[in-house]
Amino acid sequence: MTRWYALAVAVVALACCREPAKLPVDKLEDPATCADCHPQHYVEWAGSMHAYASDDPVFVAMNRRGQREAKLGVFCVRCHAPMAVALGLTDGTNFDPKTLPAKARGITCYFCHDVERVVADHDNGLTLAFDDQMRGGAADPVSTSAHRSRLDPLMASASNGSRMCGSCHDVVMPNGVAIERSFQEWKATIFAAEDPSRDLPLTCSGCHMKSEPELAVIAHQDSAEVRPRANAFHDHRMPGIDRAVTAFPDQEAQAAAIARDLDPALTIVGAAPIGGTIGGGGICVVPQDGGVLTVRLDTRGTGHMWPSGAAHDRRAWLEVIAYDAHDQIVFSSGVVADGQDPEALADPALYRLWDRTSKADGSPAHMFWDVAHVESQLLRPPVTLDQRDPGFDHSSTARYLVGPRFREIDHVGARVRILPIGRTIIDDLIASGDLDASFAAPLAKPLDVAGATRHWTRAAAAAATPYTGCVGDPYL
């Protein structure tokens, strides 16, 4: 009896010390499972473009057309619905997100948190472990009965080198044309350089997944010890520039997050009057060449070119309207009506900010699989983090030949506007029958960049304290 009793005690002790049973992998793959312990993460992710990636009707339409015209296979789907490809649920053809289970739609929690290694820096070069160990950026993950946990340098903002994000956000076509280059752009900036004195590098997640100290509890679970950690909770809305165009959760919060990051990205700053030059707020009216109006744009702490990502689809431009003292227009450029594509404007002075793409024969390419050449006109990022250094503002100047009427200019309005996707592309997809015409209207209204919206008046500029030149005008 004594020997059997001792054996029974040993078995009980072993059972008590054993790690609690974990959820099966197929359960962990479902984002709804994550909501039980990570409700705030889940709400943010569920309204994000990551969650929307495979449901986006523009993506579905473009993939459908690409399959027909270029036999794309899983080229698009492996980034927009990577779990569907990894689980063998689609070959990309006849793709319909509504036929997929929740665990295979969009970019899921499991897909990011189960990455085992990065094998390529573009076109989704991520390999999954397909295990029950969730990787994250917390240095001391709490034990949980749901899954095993560990710190992974690929998931920690301070050490991930933007490699995971870059692997899907850089897109290189089979012909070698890099149509999306955010990761490569970031690697060429100061943000990618390790500098302990400046708390660098500053990675993709450092900006697009800002930490929220007031929400420092990562998991909520009765059986786990809850330990708040400063800067441990990261925003999972991951805003960029794109927005949902169908009914989707958390749209107001997503719009606010986009504005939070977009509005300070650019600015129109500097300048004061000198001699015959009237400047102020980055806008200058100068007598050179018979009358010139200049507007200086600066990127402010942006970790890549602006705009970035699908810059061949984006349409960003500078709108400038100059008035006389009676509010009559003296000069204008970049005035684009809602539903119009600036690309279609007969405006030779248009200051555009997007990648203009063409086919091998030189004709315009609206669909990315047709792109053979890229002519890029994007704003470059700053070269320093020191806001006192002039290099913190990386300038680009738009120059407009106004002519003799420049002397009549009394006030000027200038703003940078951006369409996440150009109307020409939308119309092309509608004309081919791949996109329903009802989506044209939600995609027609551009966003304005608050930091790059400026109103200049001659009176205010003349009252400013003169100094050595009109900032942003290279001709003085």
Where do the domains of the chain lie? 16-53+107-256, 263-463
pLDDT, tens digit (0-9, with 9 covering 90-100), for 217-248: 677 764 444 455 544 578 999 999 999 999 99
Average pLDDT, the chain: 86
Question: Residue 142: which pLDDT band, with cuts at 50, 70 and 90?
Answer: confident
> Which stretches does DSSP call E strand in 47-142?
115-120, 125-128, 133-136
Tell me the residue length of the chain: 476
Question: Residue 118: which pLDDT band, with cuts at 50, 70 and 90?
Answer: very high
pLDDT, tens digit (0-9, with 9 covering 90-100), for 37-54: 999 999 999 999 999 999
pLDDT, tens digit (0-9, with 9 covering 90-100), for 266-308: 998 754 333 344 445 588 888 888 999 999 898 887 899 999 9
Q: Return the residue matching tokens 């933007």.
A: 162
Question: Residue 181: which pLDDT band, with cuts at 50, 70 and 90?
Answer: very high
Angle at 319 between CA 314 and CA 320, to 5 degrees: 160
Cα separation of 114 and 28, whole Å? 10
Q: Which residues contact 388 (CB under 8 A, 6 or more apart)?
A: none
Tell me the whole-structure pTM to 2 decimals.
0.88
pLDDT, tens digit (0-9, with 9 covering 90-100), for 374-412: 999 999 987 776 767 766 667 888 999 999 999 999 999
Tokens of residue 220, six digits:
């909520």
DSSP 8-state symbol, 420: S
At residue 230, the pLDDT reads 47
The b-or-e profile of 97-109 (16+ CB within 10 A means b, else e) is beebeebbbbbbb
Q: What are phi and psi of 118, to 5 degrees?
A: -105, 120
**Burial status of residue 14 (CB atoms within 10 A of its CB: 0-12, 13-18, 19 or more):** exposed
**Burial status of residue 19 (CB atoms within 10 A of its CB: 0-12, 13-18, 19 or more):** exposed
Q: Which residues contact 56 (CB under 8 A, 6 or more apart)?
A: 49, 80, 242, 244, 245
Determine which of 98-102, 219-223, 472-476 has the lowest per-residue pLDDT on average: 472-476
Question: Residue 191: which pLDDT band, with cuts at 50, 70 and 90?
Answer: confident
At residue 328, the pLDDT reads 98
